[in-house]
Structure 1
Amino acid sequence: MKLGLQLGYWGAQPPTGVAELVAAAEESGFDSLFTAEAWGSDALTPLAWWGRDTTKLRLGTSIVQMSGRSPASIAMHALTLDHLSNGRFILGMGVSGPQVVEGWYGQAFAKPLARTREVVEIIRKVLAREAPVTNDGPHHRLPFDGPGAVGLGKPLKSIVHPLRSDIPIWLGAEGPKNVAQTAEIADGWIPIFYTPKSSGMYQPWLDEGFARPGARRTRADFEITATCHLQITEDDGPARQAVLDRLKPTVALYMGGMGAKEANFHKQVFERMGYERITDEVQKLFLAGDREGATALIPDELVDDMHIVGTASAVKERVAQWEETGVTTLLLSCRTGDEVRRIAEVLG
């Protein structure tokens, strides 16, 4: 199992110390570097900025929100970054949620599975560069012939020859149908709350996708990149508990504060994981402004399952458990270069 560094998306201000993190990851033998986006910083610019000082790390997005750019625009980003990185780019994409898609990007959220399939098909046409790109699908018609069209649209082929026509496309997916489609059409999967305890839930969904006619990959060459926070503590008592407590507000945010009350896909994942007894109350408190009350409901066992926290020996055991479930890359959030180097030392 490989290790990746997850830089995530920015908060109110750009993060500090990132160059040190990236240098430590490169020096310590990490495999990859990933950036994310929500509704502030974008994923692609920081990846290019910090990735310019690397020579070995694979550079990926987790995830590019598909509604924020046209498929052709996403393909342009991908082929550009792949050239600049000498073939190290991974295109991670996802549909986001209705609040962001309709409220931030001003696009319709309906039929996310069909839209995902169409976006992937168009991107692969651009990268293949076998013919001018056309698409008859209902979501991204090329050339465009809908309301407002002047009728002069022309099928085009990329001016730039892609360095690789098969740039890896990984998809973020949470529900059964989306995970199955990811196994069918993508090169990898970026789950948001994949854990050792919940891993069994996903296996039938993945198997369904791999078994479909024309599936692109098999389990043997399909990548699963799971994100977690890994921290080595001095003991498995107070020091470990302090880290778990620090992680609980983020869990409460995703369980209770992300998405709309009627459509929080992250909350649904927690319910599938067996925490339906608390999800409604966490959401109720969070949306009412009582974040402390929502956080207090998050159990230690959930945070412990989602992350890897403990002494060096305990961390090694836990990492092995994640690997046994089929995870090919563990994507880690770290705070300092020393943490990165210590993790590499312990797991090396």
Structure 2
Amino acid sequence: MKFGYHSGYWSAKPPTGVEGLVAEAERLGFDSLWTAEAYGSDAVAPLAWWGARTERLRLGTGIMQMSARTPTATAMTALTLDHLSGGRFVLGLGASGPQVVEGWYGLPYPKPLARTREYVDIVRAVIARERPVEYAGEHYRLPFPGGTGLGKPLKSTLHPLRREIPILLAAEGPKNVALAGEIADGWLPFFFSPRSDAYYRERLAEGFRKRSGERSPAADFEVLVSAPIVLDDDLERGIDKLRPLIALYVGGMGAKGANFHADVVARMGYEADVEKIQNLYLAGHKKDAVAAVPAALVQDVALVGGKDKIRDDLAAWDETVVTTMLVRDEDPRVLRTIAELMD
């Protein structure tokens, strides 16, 4: 299992010290650097800014939201960053959720699977640059069938450095995970647990069986998970540090009945806990929601504890479908500890 560094979301202002952490990750032999976006900072600009200071790290978006850009705009960005990085770019894409897609981008959310399939088709066509791009889908049409009537099929003026750039899909629901196995080069899960490994292997296998043409379920299919890591010899204190993060995603990221993070946790067997956390969080009782996060859940989806415990826990993760664990921490000591455990 490889390790990457994930810079996470920006909050009210840019984070400090990331340049040093990125440099440390590269020095320690980490495989990749990842950035995020929601409805504030974007994923691309920080990746280019910090990535320009690296030589070896692969540079991935975790994730670019599809509704934020047309497929051709995303392909242009991928082509550009792949050239600038010398072929180190990895395109992580995701559908996001209805609150962001409809509330922030002003676009319809329904049928995310069909929309994703069309989106990836167009991105691949632009990058391959075999012919002018034409597409007649339910959600995307090129050229636009209306307007002035002057639109025509176009081919990127920029030639690709690589004819294929890896595309990874963020997915949480079983059909979405299967879609990643079918059309993508990798999967970006959220709230993954080693206990769920068999379940997700089968979902990916469903997708692999549907692959067509030359796109077979190759051995290099990637699964990269951003698992919270807290290095603390006091286990209970470490667990308490992660409870607010889990409560936020389970309780506050999405409306009741449309929170995909909560659905993932419920499928692990925490249905009653999810219900309680959501009810408390959405009612404004955030402290109570945080307190309602079970310690067992924290340890299911995170690495927490002293160095020896994390080493032991990593053994279980290493047996799963996960190929890369993305470390998201502001303490360089955590990165160095992980590097030691990699050996």
Please, what TM-score do these two structures have when normalized by structure 1?
Answer: 0.96
Q: AA paired with 1:49?
A: W
Q: What residue identity is the alignment partner of 2:220?
A: D
Q: Kindly indicate whether the alpha-carbon contact (under 8 Å) linking 1:232 and 1:343 is maintained by their aligned counterparts in 2.
A: no
Which of 186, 189, 205 is equivalent to 2:187? 189
* Aligned equivalent of 1:261, options 252, 256, 263: 256
**Structure 1 partner of 2:217:** 218
Whole-angstrom CA distance in 2 between matches of 1:213 and 1:52 = 35
Tell me how far 1:201 sits from its aligned partner: 2.0
What is residue 5 of structure 2 aligned with on the other side?
Answer: 5
* 1:74-85 equivalences in 2 (<5 Å): 74-85=74-85
Alignment of 1:82-161 (within 5 A): 82-146=82-146, 149-161=147-159
Which residue identity lines up with residue 226 of structure 1 in the other structure?
V
Q: How far did 1:262 drift?
A: 2.9
CA distance in 1, matches of 2:211, 2:337: 45
Counterpart residue type for residue 165 of structure 2: I
Q: Does structure 2 retain, via aligned residues, the 8 Å contact 1:210–1:219?
A: no
User: Aligned to 2:60, what secondary structure does the other structure show?
Assistant: strand
Stretches of 4+ aligned residues off by more than 6 angstroms: none
Taking only the aligned residue pairs, the percentage that are identical comes to 56
SS at match of 2:91: strand
2:177 pairs with 1:179: yes
Quote how far apart the aligned CAs of 1:106 are. Answer: 0.6
Q: After TM superposition, give the deviation of residue 213 of structure 1 in Å.
A: 4.2
How far apart, in 1, do the equivalents of 2:55 and 2:189 lie? 27
- Contact kept, 8 Å, 2:79 with 2:127, in 1: the verdict is yes
Whole-angstrom distance in 2 between the partners of 1:50 and 1:97: 28
Deviations 1:146-166 (A, max 9, x none): 4xx111111111011011111
Following TM superposition, by how much is the alpha carbon of 1:58 offset from its aligned partner in structure 2, in angstroms?
Answer: 0.3
Corresponding position: 1:71 with 2:90? no
Give the letter aligned to residue 103 of structure 2: G
CA distance in 2, matches of 1:138, 1:196: 37
SS of residue paired to 2:162: coil
Which residue is equivalent to 2:231?
A: 232
More off after superposition, 208-217 vs 152-161: 208-217
Q: Find out whether 1:206 has 2:204 as its counterpart.
A: yes
Residues 219 and 155 of structure 1: is their aligned pair in 2 closer, same or farther, counting only changes over 3 Å? closer
Which structure 1 segments of 5+ residues have no match?
none
* Cα displacement (A) at 1:336: 2.2
Partners of 2:218 and 2:149 lie apart in 1 by 45
Say whether the 8 Å CA contact 1:34–1:47 is kept in structure 2: yes
* Cα displacement (A) at 1:219: 5.7
AA aligned to 1:167 is I
Counterpart AA for 2:311: K
One-letter amino acid matched to 1:262: G
1:314 aligns with 2:303: no
CA root-mean-square deviation: 1.2
- Whether 2:201 is the aligned partner of 1:245: answer no
Matches of 1:241 and 1:335, distance apart in 2: 20
Deviation at 1:261, TM superposition (A): 1.6
1:339 to partner: Cα distance: 2.4
Paired amino acid for 1:51: G
Question: 5 Å matches for 1:288-303?
Answer: 288-303=283-298
Work out the CA distance in 1 between the residues paired with 2:304 and 2:253: 25
Cα deviation, residue 67, structure 1: 0.4
Residue 231 of structure 1, CA deviation: 3.1
Aligned AA (1:346)? L
Corresponding residue of 1:55: 55
Residues 201, 321 of structure 2: 8 Å contact kept:
no
**Paired positions, count:** 342
After superposition, the C-alpha distances for 1:30-69 in whole angstroms (9 at most, x for unaligned) are 0000001111010001000111100000000111100000
Structure 2: tracts of 5 or more residues without a match: none
Between the aligned partners of 2:191 and 2:316, the Cα distance in structure 1 is 15
Matched, 1:335 2:330: yes
> What's the CA shift for 1:346?
3.0
Q: CA offsets, 1:248-296, max 9 Å, x none?
A: 1110111111111231111111111111012122111111111001111
Deviation at 1:200, TM superposition (A): 2.1
Q: Which residue of 2 aligns with 1:24?
A: 24
